[in-house]
Structure 1
Amino acid sequence: MMDSEAQHNQLRGGETGVDEDLNTPLLSDEHSQAPVAQDVRKISQFLAVLSATCGAFCLGTVLAWTSPVGERLKQGALGFPISDDQLGWVGSLAGFGAAMMAPIAGQLVDRLGRKACMIFLCVPLCIGWLLVAFAKNPAMLYSGRIICGASGGAFSVAAPVYVSEVAHPSLRGALGALFQLQVVMGVEMAYVIGPLVSVFWLTVISAILPIVTAVAVLIFSPESPSFLLRKGRTNAAHDSLQWLWGNKCDLRTELNEMSRQVSEERSVSVKTVFLQKATMICVGLMAFQQFSGINAVIFFTEQIFAAAGGSVQGATAAAIVGAVQVGATFLSFLVVDKAGRRPLLLLSAAVMAACNTTLGAFFFLKDRGQDLSSLGMLPVLAVCLYFLVFSLGFGPVPWIMVGELFAPEVKGVAGSVASAATWWLAFAVTSLFRPIVTAIGEGQTFWMFAGLTAVGVLFVLLFVPETKGKTLEEIQTSLNATN
């Protein structure tokens, strides 16, 4: 057992000690194979990633907050009533804030470091929630939602980059799935607690979560070894990797390999990042993630079930689908490194297309006066299945791919590009959902989502590579060979 001072230094990323010259080999130029999974300490990686992805839990509460409080906001729960259109903006402005912040988030991640950036982001997130809790008018409510979305969206850049750099290749898929698992757990918390407490207290509880996140990251998430090596802090990188992977690995050889990769990194322009095949793949995956209609369904879950006229109350239905999301995402966490990325994406997109088609048919017939009282549970079952397969594939896997497909020197910028794409699309889908429904009808809107999701199946088949079990260097070699 190491003494408490050594453990403290390792938990903080080894911030003490004299750093070695980055260009000095740690060992000879011969590199051994990556350590096998059974030789790698797993619990410390899990704790580090679980703490780092607590920001995703906060993001989930931001995304789902509108659903349980929407009707109460319209009735003046915060001291002033809002209209249906204003409620639509309350729901969609979080995505707008995330989209605006995404380009900046990549620079913060690269300049402050992965750990410091995640701690820093907790401050504006807490401020945003307090603005919402004490809002005196729609402008304050809008501002708070934008700030919350911006902070949560920045976590969607920082956390996947961090996970990809601290996780062993044999665990990277499972640990990468923790990001989406935390998101849906945050969504479920809002769904379950929201109907039980006032709008004010749900918002205050949400404001406390960033404080918990900052403490967890500070204690359990050491800075990533790759980032420390880029700063020339080799001793700190060794301490970080030792705490993460354990002493049974050949740490010096692993660090020697990381140092070689860092020394071969080169600066790249944003234009170069945009032209990379990896960018096209990740942006495409994020696009089809949003084109499935996921955020429109999350924001307006209760309203969808109320419109369906089923026997299940809106709040209960929301809690049910939230629980389905948590269970399915946990299943993805268990199987993604065994089943692979592509099979989960294909299954997810195909079944989501079928569910959207079913929902479209239900609402199409309902709008035409058909008696569907005997099918009241159909929307519930279709949405539950939709959330199940989304959480298995298109929920977690695109975020995993963001951490896997990019070379280390472009991860910050590339993560920003991919995150900006998904949040701009989320903003567009959620803000246009109501106008599109008004213009063409609920059934036709879900059919539109079904058609776009079906195109996503073709995209995965044609362009998305399998990355299961590959090292980051092997993935880069494969991408470059197919450019």
Structure 2
Amino acid sequence: MSSAGGDKYQYLAAISVNIITISYGAFCGWPSASFLELSAEDSPLETGPLSPKDQGWVASNICTGGLFGTLLFTWLSEKIGRRQSLLWMALPNLLGWVMIPFARNPMHLNIARFIGGAAGGGCFTVIPIYVAELASDNIRGVLGVFLVLTCNAGVLLAFILGYYFNYAQVCWIVSTLSFVFVGCFWFMPETPQYLVKINKTEEAEHSLRYYRNIRSNPAKELSEELQFELQKLKPTEKPSADGEEIEAETTGVTWRDFAEGKNRKAFLIGIGLISFNQLCGCFAMLIYTAVIFQQAGSSLSPTVAAIVVGAIQLLGTYASYVLVERLGRKILLVVSAVGIGLGQSAMATYSYLQVLGIDVTSFGWVPIAGFSFMLFVAACGLLSLPFLVISEIMPQKIRSTAMMITMTVLWVISTCTIKMMPIFTETMGMHGTVYMFASLSFAAAVFIAIFVPETKGKTIEAIMASL
């Protein structure tokens, strides 16, 4: 149905809304170079150099803020709409950046990171919903990958800016993205599905016409498929003697909605995907980038090593963008999970042989190769696609609430893995910790192969029928 011309406003909307994700990605990558400056003897903080303990809190507070933002902006997306809630995300995003240059102690940095993290929680919850509700079936996957693609672009941007500018200058530069986001996204209409949900059927039709680039065409000239899509937006009358069924349609989501067979299965698949997204260990292991490069005898400085890692992530996510509508979601997820496990196994084996006292100096390239391969395949699937798949498989009625719950699970697991990583490495050693992550990655591959449906090019009705 959708030609290139018909898709252009959908691409424009996806690019515009993800400008704020670039800013959040930079917020994630900001500590890499900035901690070197803030922990130095001539630290600009009044309390002196940032201690390792404080670094851990400042780094992980973005996850705590993400949890708060998930709850806040999911609620807002139901109360005031997807578009309005997304525009409001610019405020905490801007505040998070502006507060950092004025920070005088670790507490100020923690507050700034919490506020900026709240915007990220909204991004990863509301943007997938927004994209899923406006996109045509044939490009929904491509548009969905923009979220992680732009986030990783933001991470790389922060790494590069951190190489050339000090920590405060980076904040001022990236803070301008909040204004660019509002300026570009301001003109986008609300999603058709949300407008129908609040009984604004005529506005929903105008919105759908905008996103399909058919605003000037009379309805009689539309293709049968698009006429059917327009018809699906119209509310259906359900006969009921006492009005209970009609009332149930307009009230909020209840646990009974989640208990319904296919809704429950979709929700549990979403929880499993988002859990393995963090339990595979890739996000937590990024903290050890410098250690891994140093262990392999790399001569790269920490900032250059971070840029290399950021480039690998971005390249992997771009590969996902290219392949997601060609190979499908499921095959990319399975291959990604297996690849992560293999890369981690190679790294863990190298570390274990070192512990045994075996000379492995001639294999010093293994940790870097394994780590780079792990990041690349992770970005191709398990780190990028779960957000898309979850937004696709969730039925319209429970989509917002289910996304909120799954993202809450993500932030809790993320915080725990980051905080527990030092304990794991102390008790089990680096090799034991990475072997543990490898086993969870292989478990993710089995879970995906058995339970996750292929959603490429399918309508929500077809996806639900496959569950």
Counterpart CA distance in 2 for 1:206 and 1:303 is 28
Query: Does residue 67 in structure 1 map to residue 32 in structure 2?
Result: yes
Q: Residues 95-131 of structure 1: CA distance to partner in whole angstroms, max 9, x if unpaired?
A: 1211233223221111121111111011011112222
In structure 2, the CA distance between the partners of 1:369 and 1:196, relative to structure 1 (3 Å rule), is: farther
Contact 2:292–2:368, Cα closer than 8 Å, also in 1? no
In structure 2, the CA distance between the partners of 1:307 and 1:214, relative to structure 1 (3 Å rule), is: farther
Q: Which residue of 1 aligns with 2:452?
A: 464
Query: Does residue 170 in structure 1 map to residue 145 in structure 2?
Result: no
Cα deviation for residue 328 of structure 1 reads 1.9
What is the 5 A alignment of 1:136-155? Answer: 136-155=104-123
Cα deviation for residue 249 of structure 1 reads 4.3
Q: Residues 219-268 of structure 1: CA distance to partner in whole angstroms, max 9, x if unpaired?
A: 3x321111122223233222221221122744554222122479885645
Q: Which residue of 2 aligns with 1:227?
A: 194
In structure 2, the CA distance between the partners of 1:346 and 1:446, relative to structure 1 (3 Å rule), is: same
Give the root-mean-square deviation of aligned CA atoms: 2.2
Cα deviation for residue 148 of structure 1 reads 1.1
Counterpart CA distance in 1 for 2:237 and 2:72 is 23
What is the 5 A alignment of 1:230-379? Answer: 230-247=197-214, 249-250=222-223, 252-260=227-235, 265=249, 267=251, 269=253, 271-272=255-256, 275=259, 276-367=264-355, 370-379=358-367
Cα deviation for residue 451 of structure 1 reads 1.1
Contact 1:91–1:430, Cα closer than 8 Å, also in 2? no
Q: 1:51 aligns with which of 11, 16, 27?
A: 16
Which shifted more, 189-198 or 242-251? 242-251
Contact 2:277–2:383, Cα closer than 8 Å, also in 1? yes
Q: Which residue of 1 aligns with 2:242?
A: none
Q: Residues 10-45 of structure 1: CA distance to partner in whole angstroms, max 9, x if unpaired?
A: xxxxxxxxxxxxxxxxxxxxxxxxxx2338612111
Counterpart CA distance in 2 for 1:353 and 1:144 is 35
Counterpart CA distance in 2 for 1:168 and 1:57 is 24
Partner amino acid, structure 2, of 1:244: Y
Unaligned runs of 5+ in 1: 1-35
Query: Does residue 200 in structure 1 map to residue 168 in structure 2?
Result: yes
Q: Which residue of 1 aligns with 2:154?
A: 186
In structure 2, the CA distance between the partners of 1:311 and 1:375, relative to structure 1 (3 Å rule), is: farther
SS at match of 2:326: helix
Cα deviation for residue 138 of structure 1 reads 0.9
Q: Which residue of 2 aligns with 1:28?
A: none
SS at match of 2:324: helix
Q: With CA pairs under 8 Å and 6+ residues apart, which has the higher RCO, 1 or 2? A: 1
Contact 2:132–2:392, Cα closer than 8 Å, also in 1? yes
Cα deviation for residue 192 of structure 1 reads 1.7
In structure 2, the CA distance between the partners of 1:399 and 1:156, relative to structure 1 (3 Å rule), is: same
Q: Residues 31-61 of structure 1: CA distance to partner in whole angstroms, max 9, x if unpaired?
A: xxxxx23386121110101111222222211
Q: Which residue of 2 aligns with 1:478?
A: 466
Aligned identity (percent) is 28
What is the 5 A alignment of 1:406-445? Answer: 406-445=394-433
Unaligned runs of 5+ in 2: 215-220, 239-245
Cα deviation for residue 205 of structure 1 reads 2.3
Counterpart CA distance in 1 for 2:253 and 2:449 is 30
Contact 2:160–2:307, Cα closer than 8 Å, also in 1? yes
Contact 1:67–1:302, Cα closer than 8 Å, also in 2? no
Q: TM-score under structure 1 normalisation?
A: 0.86
Counterpart CA distance in 2 for 1:286 and 1:205 is 32
Counterpart CA distance in 1 for 2:295 and 2:168 is 27
Counterpart CA distance in 2 for 1:463 and 1:103 is 27
In structure 2, the CA distance between the partners of 1:67 and 1:301, relative to structure 1 (3 Å rule), is: farther
Counterpart CA distance in 2 for 1:262 and 1:54 is 40
Counterpart CA distance in 1 for 2:169 and 2:358 is 41
Which shifted more, 263-272 or 456-465? 263-272
Q: TM-score under structure 2 normalisation?
A: 0.89
Cα deviation for residue 176 of structure 1 reads 0.7
Query: Does residue 124 in structure 1 map to residue 92 in structure 2?
Result: yes
Cα deviation for residue 153 of structure 1 reads 1.1
In structure 2, the CA distance between the partners of 1:88 and 1:308, relative to structure 1 (3 Å rule), is: farther
Counterpart CA distance in 2 for 1:273 and 1:95 is 29
Contact 2:129–2:391, Cα closer than 8 Å, also in 1? yes
What is the 5 A alignment of 1:205-216? Answer: 205-216=173-184
- How many residue pairs match? The answer is 443
Q: Residues 122-169 of structure 1: CA distance to partner in whole angstroms, max 9, x if unpaired?
A: 101111222222111111111111111111111111100000001000
Counterpart CA distance in 2 for 1:305 and 1:130 is 33
In structure 2, the CA distance between the partners of 1:415 and 1:273, relative to structure 1 (3 Å rule), is: farther
Counterpart CA distance in 2 for 1:163 and 1:84 is 39
Q: 1:405 aligns with which of 393, 412, 427?
A: 393
Query: Does residue 157 in structure 1 map to residue 125 in structure 2?
Result: yes
Which shifted more, 246-255 or 137-146? 246-255
